Amino acid sequence: MASCPFLFTPRSPPLIATHRRPTLASRAHLPVSSRSRLSRREGCPCRCASSSSSGRDGPQERPPRSRQRKQRTQRPSRDDAIDPVGFLAKHGISDRAFAQFLRDRYKALKDRRWELHSRLIDLKEASSGFELMGMHRHRQHRMDFMEWAPGARYCSLVGDFNQWSITENCAREGHLGHDDFGYWTIILEDNLKEGQEPDEYYFQEYNYVDDYDKGDNGVDVEELIRRMNEEYWEPGEVRSQKSRLEVVAKLYEQMFGPNGPQTDEELGDIPDAETRYNEWKALQKDDSASSLPCYDIIDNGQEFDIFNVVTDRVSFEKFQGKSPPLAYWVEMRKGRKAWMEKYVPAISHKDKYRVYFNTPDGALERIPAWATYVLPDAVGKQSYAVHWEPPPEEIYKWRFGRPKVKGSLRIYECHVGISGSEQKISSFQEFTSNVLTHIKDAGYNAIQLIGILEHKDYSSVGYKVTNYFAVSSRFGTPDDFKKLVDEAHGLGLVILLDIVHSYASSDELVGLSLFDGSNDCYFHSGKRGHHKYWGTRIFKYDDVDVLHFLLSNLNWWVTEYRIDGFQFHSLPSMLYTHNGFSTFTGAMEEYYNQYVDKDALIYLIIANEMLHELHPDIITIAEDATFYPGLCEPTTQGGLGFDYWVNLSVPEMWLWHLENVSEHEWSMTKIMEVLVSINSNMLSYVENHNQSISGRKSFAEIILQKEKHSNSSVDDGLVFRTSSLLNLIKLITFTTSGGAYLNFIGNEFAHPKRIEFPMSSNDYSFRLANRQWELLDKGIHKHIFNFDKDIMSLDEKEKLISRGSPNVHHCDDTSMVISFTRGPFLFVFNFNPDASYQLYSVGVDEAGEYQLILNTDETKYGGRGVLKSNQYMTRTSDNRVGGCRNSLELTLPSRSAQVYKLVRILRI
C-alpha cells in the first residue's frame, strides 16, 4: 500500500462493452501468452506506467479529459461501415423477407462473436486451440495433454509408455483435473535417470531444440537471482512475505497500534478515508531516504480515471528506464543435452496411445480428437494415436517460402492414393517425386488435394473424416506431407486442401461420434445430427467449443503445414437441415426458410473472417450446388466472405449433353446461359472426381463409347471426334470462368477409365484406382494434353481469364457458332459436327488487326489443319454484325475454336 496508495470512485461500465474477462475455468486452456496478457490487464488499476507529470516540483493535478476526447480514443466498434444487406442492391435482389433474414443473421452473428470472445478473447485465440489441446511438450521437464470431453467422469492416457494402464496417468486433483467446460488436463512428468537429483527449482526450463543453451554455463541459480535483484529492484522495494495476511496485519498495526481495539466500543469512530490518507501522507514527507515512487491521487469529485494518476518526474523517469530482467531468466534455461543427461521422456517419439474415459454408460477408449498422427492397429480393428515428436536433427526444415498467385487460378485437383500407375495406394513421397513436376510442366499454378485428412474408410475418397488434425497415415508421415508442400512451393505451386467441415464420419471407435459417451458432444442430437443419405454426422455449429475445434483445425493446417487455402466441401450438407437433398426452384424463399441452418452460415462467416485476418493471402473456395446468395461477398456487406465459388452446374450440363443429346441438337443458347449467367469469382471445370467416382464414366470413356477401343485400334474419325469435342468443351469452359479453373488428375490427357476405389462391390480391387501415365505420349491422349498445356501457358502469358467478364456478341443455335470477347481477345467456337464455314462474319467492337494465337484445329491437337499460315492474321471491315460496329471474315472448320488477339488498333 505504501508503494501505490489510491482512492477512487468506481466508474460505471461503458456503453460499448469490450471482451468480458474469462472465467478461471476458461483460462486453464488459454495459451501462456494469453494468460500473461490477462494478468497484466487485471493488475493494479492505477496504471503506473501510463502516468506522467507536469515537470514541476511535486505532483501536479492534471486537468480532466473531456468526454469528446474519450470517445475519440475508444476502439472502433465492429458495427462501423457494416451493412448486413449491402450486397442485395449490387445483385438487384429486392426480396424483403430475405433482407430481414440477413439482418436477423447479423444480430445472431454478433451474439455468437460475443459468446466466442467471452471465452477465447479474439479470433486468434479461438483458432489456436492446437497450441494447448492434444499432446505438447512443456518448457519444464514434462508433457501436457488436454482433451475436451464434457460427458466423461474420468480421463486418463493409456499407451506403450505406461503399459496401457488406465490409472497411472490420469487427470487427478493437483494436476488441474478438468474445468467447468469439460477440458481435461493430464501431466506426464519426465522420469529421472538413475542417480540423478531432481531440479532444485520447479521453474527450471529446458530448450529441447538446441543442445547447448545459456543455462548450461554452470552459473549458480542463486547468483542469477541475486543479480536480478540488484539490477532491477531499488533498496527497500523487495519485501518478503511469509503469509498473505502479513500486509494486512502490518496495516492494522500502523492504524491502531500493536494492541489495537478488540471490540466495536474500543474501536470508536474511524475517520473517513481521505482524512486517514492525508495523515499517512504527512508522515511520509520527512522520509527522504525512501526510494519508493511518490504516487498520489487527486480526488476532485470527478469520475476516477486511471490516466489521472499523478507522479513526480524523478519516479516516472526511473520507472520508464527499467526493463524486466528477462536476460537472466533466459540464462537459467538449460539445453536439450542437459535434459537428456538427466531425464527420460514420459512418452517417446512414435509411442502409441489412446485416451480412456469413464462415462455414465461405461468405459471407453478413444483416439484423441486433436491427435496429429493416427495409425491402424495391427489386427486392423482399432486405431491408435502416435506421438509425433522427432528429435531436432530429424525435424523437417522448410526450404521455400509460400508463393503467391498472380492473375488467374489454374487448379490441378489430385488424390494422392490414385496418383500412381501401379495398382496400390501411392504415397506422399511418390507423389512428390513423380507428379509435382508434371503439374508444373502442364502449366498449372495450384494443387488441390483431396483425402488428406485421416479417414478410416478408403473407399469414401477421404470425405468421411475421422481425425481432423492428422494427415492420412496410408500416404505417409506428417514430415512426408510437409516435404510435398515444400517442394510444391519451390515449384511456385500453391497448395489448397479440400476440407470437410460439413459432416464427419460416424465411426465411434476412431472418429468423433459418441466421443465422450454422449450423443451431443461434437454433433447435434437426434435427426439433425445425422446426414439423411450418407450416414455421416452433422456438427453442432452453435456450440463455442465445437467452433473452437473447427476454427483451430483450419488454422492448424495453415500454421503447421503451410497450406495456402481451402475448398469447403459440400456446403449444402451443412447449410440446410435437409442436407441439400431437395428440389431447388431458384425462389429466394428457399434461402431463408425453416430448413436453412443459420448457425452453419454464421460459422462460415467467422471462419472466413479468421482465415483472412490471420493469413491475408489465404484462398477460400465454396462448393455449393445451391448457389447461396452472397457466397463471395464481403462479410461486412452481408456475404459469406469466400474468394471463389464452384459452378457445379457446368460439368453436369456437359455430362447431360454428352449422354442424352445428339451433337446436332446441342443448344448454344442454353450452354452459354450456364457458362456466363453468374461469372464473378466463378470457378469452372469440365469434369472433376465426382463424375468418375460416383458410378459414372469419364468424358473420354463416354465419347469413345466402349472400353474395347484401345488406343491403336481407334480410327482417324473417332480420334478427331474425341479430341476436337473435348478441346472445344475445355476451351469454352476455361475462357468463360470467373478467374479460376479446375482440372482433375488425368483429365488433362483424357484419361480413358473412370475411378473406382477398392470396396466390397469390386472385391477391393485397385484396378481402376490409379492413373495410366503411359498414355501421355500416345495418340489422342498426347494431342489433348498438348492442347491443355498450351491453354495453361497462354493464360500464364496473356491472362485470358483475368480480364473481366465475357461479352457475348454472337450465339446462333442454327449454325452452332458462338463468339465473345474478353479484353483484347476474341473467342470463336463452331460446335457444328459437320458444317465448316468460309468467310463467316463475326462482329467486334474494336477495329484493327487480329492475330490468331490458338487454334484447336491444328494437327498437334488432333485437328485437320484446315487453316493455313496466311490466315493467322485478319483485319476488320466496317460491316456491322450482331450489333457491333466492325466485323471479321473468318474460316471456321467444323468442331473447332479459335482465339484471336487484337494486336493493332485502326482509327477511322
pLDDT band at 22 (very low <50, low <70, confident <90, very high): very low
Specify the long-range contacts of residues 782-786, CB closer than 8 Å, at least 24 apart: 782/749, 783/719, 783/723, 783/860, 783/861, 783/862, 784/722, 784/723, 784/726, 784/727, 784/748, 784/749, 784/750, 784/861, 784/862, 785/442, 785/748, 785/749, 785/750, 786/860, 786/861
What mean pLDDT is predicted for residues 709-720? 59
pLDDT tier at 37, thresholds 50, 70, 90: very low
* DSSP-assigned letter for residue 170: B
pLDDT digits (tens, 9 = 90+) for 337-376: 889 999 999 999 999 999 999 998 899 999 999 999 999 8
Please check whether residue 475 is in contact with residue 424, taking contact to mean a CB–CB distance below 8 angstroms: no
pLDDT at residue 41, as a whole number: 36
CA distance 317 to 331: 28
418-430 b/e with 16+ CB inside 10 Å = b? bbbeeeebbbbeb
Q: Is 846 a catalytic residue?
A: no
What DSSP designation does 252 have? H
pLDDT the model gives residue 209: 84
What mean pLDDT comes out for the span 14-40? 37
Strand, coil or helix: 724: helix
Average pLDDT score over residue span 643-668? 93
Q: Determine the Cα–Cα distance for residues 632 and 622; give it in Å rounded to an integer.
A: 8
Q: In this model, does residue 803 exceed pLDDT 70? A: yes
- CB neighbourhood size of 712 (10 A): 7
The cell for 619 is 484462398
b/e map 74-108, b = 16+ CB within 10 Å: eeeeeeeeeebbbbbeeeebebeebbebbeebbee
pLDDT score, position 294: 61
In the predicted model, what is the mean pLDDT of residues 706-726?
65
For residue 332, what pLDDT band results from cuts at 50, 70 and 90? Answer: confident
Confidence of residue 377 (pLDDT cuts 50, 70, 90): confident
Sequence-ordered list of residues with C-beta below 8 angstroms from that of 666, at least 6 positions apart, any chain: 657, 816, 831
Matching residue, cell 516540483 = 57
In this structure, how many other beta carbons lie within 10 angstroms of the beta carbon of residue 282? 9
Q: What are the tens digits of pLDDT across the range 684-704?
A: 999 887 765 666 788 888 887
**Cα separation, 461 vs 684, whole angstroms:** 21
In the predicted model, is pLDDT for residue 657 greater than 90? yes
Longest Cα pair distance anywhere in the chain, in angstroms? Answer: 119
Q: How many C-beta atoms lie closer than 10 Å to residue 445's C-beta?
A: 23
Q: Distance between CA 879 and CA 867 in Å, rounded?
A: 23
pLDDT at 389: 93
CA distance 49 to 60: 17
Nearest to 406 by CA among 449, 446, 350, 356: 446
Q: What share of the chain is helix, strand, coil (3-state, %, to 5)?
A: 35, 20, 45
β-pair partners for 881: 884
Q: Phi, psi (5° rounding) for residue 343?
A: -125, 160
Cα gap 227→695, rounded to integer Å = 75
Q: What is the pLDDT of residue 310?
A: 61
Residue indicated by cell numbers 498426347? 782
Does 763 or 714 have the greater pLDDT score? 763
Q: Show the beta-strand stretches assigned E in 428-580.
A: 446-450, 453-455, 465-471, 494-499, 565-568
Domains in the chain (CATH in brackets) are: 647-755+775-804 (no CATH), 806-907 (2.60.40.1180)
Higher pLDDT, 45 or 479: 479
Per-residue pLDDT at 60: 41
**pLDDT confidence of residue 708:** 41
Average pLDDT, the chain: 84
CA quadruple 628, 501, 633, 819: dihedral positive or negative? negative
The answer to whether 437 and 773 have CB atoms below 8 angstroms apart is no
Distance CA 337, CA 342 (A): 9
Q: What is the pLDDT of residues 250-277, one digit of tens each?
A: 777 777 777 777 777 877 787 887 787 7
- pLDDT at residue number 709: 45
pLDDT of residue 173: 65
pLDDT digits (tens, 9 = 90+) for 543-560: 999 999 999 999 999 999
Please tell me which residue in 623, 633, 687, 748 is annotated as part of the active site: 623
* Nearest partner of 341 among 170, 528, 430, 212, judged by Cα: 212
Look at residue 894 in the predicted model and tell me its pLDDT: 94
The residues, ordered by sequence, that sit 6+ positions from 188 with a Cβ below 8 Å of its Cβ are 142, 143, 144, 145, 157, 161, 169, 346, 347
> For residue 473, what pLDDT band results from cuts at 50, 70 and 90?
very high
Q: Checking DSSP bridges between strand 334-335 and strand 206-207, what pairing results, if any?
A: parallel
Amino acid symbol at 632: C
